[in-house]
């Protein structure tokens, strides 16, 4: 397997990034599957089985009051804790996938142990970067919500228009995690570095992620409709719970894996476009 040739490229190419993303997945499928299976698929599957079981028990009893009390009680607490754990594991998986992607693009066979070791080494900076981004988004949504309530019509329009710069801001910091894993700066330095790398290529990156997102949404809608049809025709059964949990976990895992690899590929392409950095040079820091 030959390495991708080094050298400066004229501009970020959606087609090249898309092709490289699925080339990496095809060549290193076993390693990537093991990483996402361990950090994403298995935890999500366990949670989804528990969640579907709880919902089936509550709705099966026909006691809506019990369902509401459970939602604000044990059910809500467990769901919140599980969500935080899944979020932390998702960042750990993304860090491991960054390593695997760079190794693959460098013509090597990614080692699962090596990828996990690198992910663990950068776990806290990666988690910190993710939390800062999430908190910034939550704050922005709260502010827009307040504006929409204070100014009913104009505020709603302002909130809608604000979605565009918010989306562009997300694109601008989209490679912050690969920066943390690869270059090991501080949290805010990684976000700033990401904004520098994506400058001039953000709309192309946006359309790359948009294509992947639309494909993922289409699969999710199809699965949801099929699952709902099965529930309406035969009710919620043990077999249905297992199928629903496995299907939901599999879809979310596939999407997170594809988007994580796409982000890592985007980072590599941006380094080559803006700095002429080869994949070999990117991999040296891990040697």
Q: So where are the chain's domains?
A: 14-120+198-284
pTM for this prediction: 0.77
Share of the chain above pLDDT 90, in %: 21
**Tens digit of each residue's pLDDT (9 = 90 or more) over 16-45:** 899 999 999 989 988 998 998 888 888 877
- Number of CB atoms found within 10 A of residue 64's CB: 10
Q: How confident is the model at residue 225 (pLDDT cuts 50, 70, 90)?
A: confident
How far, in Å, CA of 122 to CA of 132, rounded?
16
**Tens digit of each residue's pLDDT (9 = 90 or more) over 140-179:** 888 877 777 787 777 677 777 878 888 899 999 999 999 9
pLDDT at 51 over 70: yes
How far, in Å, CA of 128 to CA of 91, rounded?
10
Q: What is the 3-state secondary structure (H, E, C) of 102-120?
A: HHHHCCCCCCHHHHHHHHH
How far, in Å, CA of 242 to CA of 130, rounded?
31
* DSSP letter string, 216-262: HHHHHHHHHHHHHHHHHHH-S-HHHHHHHHHHHHHHHHHHHHHHHHH
DSSP code, position 184: -
Q: What is the 3-state secondary structure (H, E, C) of 201-212?
A: CHHHHHHHHHHH
pLDDT reported for residue 193: 94
Share of the chain above pLDDT 70, in %: 77
């Amino acid at each position: 397997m030959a390495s991708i040739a080094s050298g400066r490229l004229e501009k970020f190419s959606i087609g090249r990034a898309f092709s490289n993303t699925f080339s990496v997945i095809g060549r290193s499928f076993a390693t990537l599957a093991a990483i996402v299976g361990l950090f994403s698929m298995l935890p999500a599957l366990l949670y989804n089985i528990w969640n579907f079981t709880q919902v089936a028990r509550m709705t099966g009893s026909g006691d809506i009051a019990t369902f509401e009390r459970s939602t604000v009680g044990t059910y809500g607490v467990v769901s919140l804790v599980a969500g935080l754990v899944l979020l932390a594991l998702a960042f750990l998986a993304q860090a491991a996938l960054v390593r695997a992607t760079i190794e693959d693009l460098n013509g090597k066979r990614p080692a699962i142990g090596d990828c996990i070791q690198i992910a663990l080494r950068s776990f806290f900076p990666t988690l910190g970067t993710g939390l800062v981004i999430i908190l910034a988004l939550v704050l922005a949504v709260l502010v827009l919500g307040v504006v929409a309530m204070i100014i009913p019509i104009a505020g709603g329009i302002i909130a809608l228009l604000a979605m565009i710069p918010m989306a562009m801001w997300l694109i601008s910091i989209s490679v912050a995690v690969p920066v943390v894993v690869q270059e090991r700066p501080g949290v805010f330095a990684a976000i700033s570095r990401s904004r520098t790398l994506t400058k001039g290529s953000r709309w192309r990156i946006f359309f790359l992620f948009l294509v992947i997102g639309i494909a993922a949404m289409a699969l999710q809608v199809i699965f949801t409709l099929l699952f709902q049809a099965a529930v309406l025709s035969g009710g919620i059964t043990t077999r249905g719970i297992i199928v629903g949990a496995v299907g939901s976990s599999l879809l979310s895992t596939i999407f997170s894996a594809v988007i994580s690899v796409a982000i890592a590929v985007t980072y590599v392409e941006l380094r080559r476009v803006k700095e002429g950095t080869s994949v070999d040079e990117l991999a040296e820091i891990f040697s």
